[in-house]
Structure formats: structure tokens, C-alpha cells
Amino acid sequence: MSSEAPEKKTGAAASQPAVVADLQASLQRLDQLANLGRVAANVAHEIKNGLVAINTFMELLLEKSADREMAGVVQRELKRIDNLVTQILRLSAPRTAEVKTVRVHDLLDHSLRLLEHQMKTRLITLKRNYRAPADAVRGDESQLQQAFMNLLLNAVEAMGNNGELAVTTEIITDTDGRRRLKIFIRDTGPGIAPENLSRLFEPFFTTKKNGTGLGLAICQRVVQEHQGSIEVESKDGNGSTFIITLPAE
């Protein structure tokens, strides 16, 4: 009875498992770097929004005497940024939502207050039509504030001089009897090209020269986490309307 010695693998065949292992490790590292990049871009986007408000009010504070109301606005934005950065630096999982009754109109007014200087500079007219109850929603105040600020800032930046920003709220009742809060944010900017409408909420998609492409993706995530929806109506050259729908109490 004869036996054959096992065939030895040499050269490229012998190194193939090692090559595969190296490729898998490299892909894993690339995936980790991509995730880190997304986190960093998200943080940078939110820091930028907060700094817009801080810079605006610091300029006004320097022009006027001490103003407690303005100082309070700056402190509130600094705290929001600090909480966000602290959370990311700890590399924690997404934070647990602090669900409570939210005064939606107060959140909208706070965001509009932060953008007041920009709107005055651009001669943008603001129209508010709050028809919904002020405390019609339960949710996370900080997350909803983040979404509203992104949408309102986008609307202001989309318009040139002499534009109009309209913010409307109303309560509707679905066919199944459930109450919904609808928030309409309308601008008179150039509108959105038809070929871009389907991609607006994609992460990293942007038509801005220095945009991150994260603002609307963040808005959609926040709204969906509140069991709501967000959509946009726009015609190229005829402004845009973003519509948020949330469960109402």
C-alpha cells in the first residue's frame, strides 16, 4: 500500500490566504474610517450652525450694552454644541431621546430669532401663521430644534434679497382618526431642479459649494425617529416648501 505526500503549496498559492486576510483587514479599516468621517462631518455641520448664531449675537453684543436676553441665547447655543461634541467624543451610541411635551412654536421662534440678523440684512420678510396648539407634540426638544434650525437656515440661505420666509403650523386628522401636526417652511428662492428632488435627503448629496450634504439627511432622521415624515414641494425657479408631519397629542 503506497501513500502520497501532501502536495506543498508554494509561491502565490501559499500566500493567497494571507492576502485575503490583509484585504479584509484593510476593508474593515476603510469602513471604520468612513464611519468616522460621517460622524466628523455631522459634528462639523452642527457646530457650523451653532457658530452662525453665536457670531451673529456676539457682534450685536459688542455694538450694544450688556443684554441678558442675547447672552442667554448665546449660552443656550453653546450648551447645545457642547452636548453634541461631548457625545461624539465619547463615541457613544445615539443618545436616548428625552421625550416630553414640546412647545413647537417656541422652538420655531427660537430658531427664527437666531436667524433674525441674517434676514434683516437680506431684507427677507417673515410670515408666521401658527394655527396648531403650541404644545401639540411629544418628542426630544433638542433633536427637533436641530431639524428646524437646519430647514430654516437652508431656506434663508436659498434666498437672495427681498425674499419671503413663511412658517405655518396646523393640525389635521387622518382617515383613521389620528391627529397630525404639519409644519410648512416655505421660501421664495430659486427652487430645486427636478433631477435633484429625489436625492435631497441622501447623505453627502449637496448643491452648495461648501455644503456637507448632511443637513437634510439629519432632518429626515430626526423626523423619522419621531414617527413622522418630511417631504418637499418645489418647482425650479419658484421656491420650495418643506413639510414636516408629526404625530400630535
Phi, psi of 125 (to 5 degrees): -85, 135
Task: Determine how β-strand 164-173 pairs with β-strand 125-130.
Answer: parallel
Domains observed in the chain: 15-89 (1.10.287), 99-247 (3.30.565.10)
pLDDT level of residue 15 (50, 70, 90 thresholds): low
For residues 81 and 50, the answer to whether their CB atoms sit within 8 Å is yes
Look at residues 210, 188, 192 and name the one whose alpha carbon lies nearest to residue 201: 192
CA–CA separation, 113 and 53 (whole Å): 9
CA distances (Å), origin 103, targets 15, 20, 121, 171: 64, 55, 28, 14
Provide the CA 4 distance to its chain's centre, in angstroms: 67
Question: Is the pLDDT score of 21 beyond 80?
Answer: no
Give residue-wise pLDDT tens across range 82-118: 656 654 554 444 556 688 899 999 999 999 998 998 9
Give residue-wise pLDDT tens across range 191-228: 998 888 888 888 777 777 766 677 788 888 889 989 99
223 exposure class (CB count in 10 Å sphere: 0-12, 13-18, 19+): buried
Q: Which three cell numbers stand for residue 33?
A: 474610517
Query: What pTM did the predictor assign?
Result: 0.66
Most confident of 48-57, 68-77, 92-101, 104-113: 104-113
List of residues 6+ apart from 92 with CB closer than 8 A = none
What is the H or E stretch that residue 181 is in? strand 179-187
The length of the chain, given as a count of residues:
249
Nearest-10 Cα torsion for 103, 107, 108, 109: 100
For residues 30 and 22, the answer to whether their CB atoms sit within 8 Å is no
Helices (H), the chain: 11-63, 68-89, 104-114, 116-121, 141-158, 194-197, 215-225
Residue type, 138: R
